[in-house]
């Protein structure tokens, strides 16, 4: 079962939990990725500061994947919809 992530604050503990569930220390995960323990610590503390490619690489090393699914309201309709202007309603880019 997946864990819905809607804020970057939820991502940090998830990355730590995934690592620990694999029985890896930060140094051990760093070895798998060719990174230092310090870099793994920064990734876990500030996942919003890594690129998507870096995040996917970490997830792959943790035997996890990223899935993006639409959020639905109680009516079953997606909460974010496209407008005629091409901008997403309810969000600012």
Which tens digits make up the pLDDT trace of 1-36?
688 888 888 999 999 999 999 999 999 999 999 999
pLDDT at 89 over 70: no
Q: pLDDT tens digit string along 51-81? A: 999 999 999 999 999 998 888 766 666 555 4
Task: For residue 5, give the nearest of 42, 57, 55 by alpha carbon.
Answer: 55
More confident residue, 8 or 37: 37
Q: What is the pTM of this model?
A: 0.73
pLDDT grade, residue 91 (50/70/90)?
very low
Q: What one-character DSSP code corresponds to residue 85?
A: T
């Amino acid at each position: 079962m997946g864990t819905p992530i809607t804020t970057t604050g939820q991502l940090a503990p998830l990355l730590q939990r995934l690592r620990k569930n694999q029985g890896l220390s930060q140094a051990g995960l760093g070895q798998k990725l060719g990174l230092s323990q310090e870099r793994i610590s920064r990734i876990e503390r500030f996942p919003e500061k890594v690129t998507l490619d870096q995040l996917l690489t970490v997830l792959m090393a943790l035997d996890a994947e990223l899935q993006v699914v639409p959020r639905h309201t109680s009516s079953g309709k997606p909460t974010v919809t496209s407008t005629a202007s091409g901008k997403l309603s309810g969000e600012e880019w």
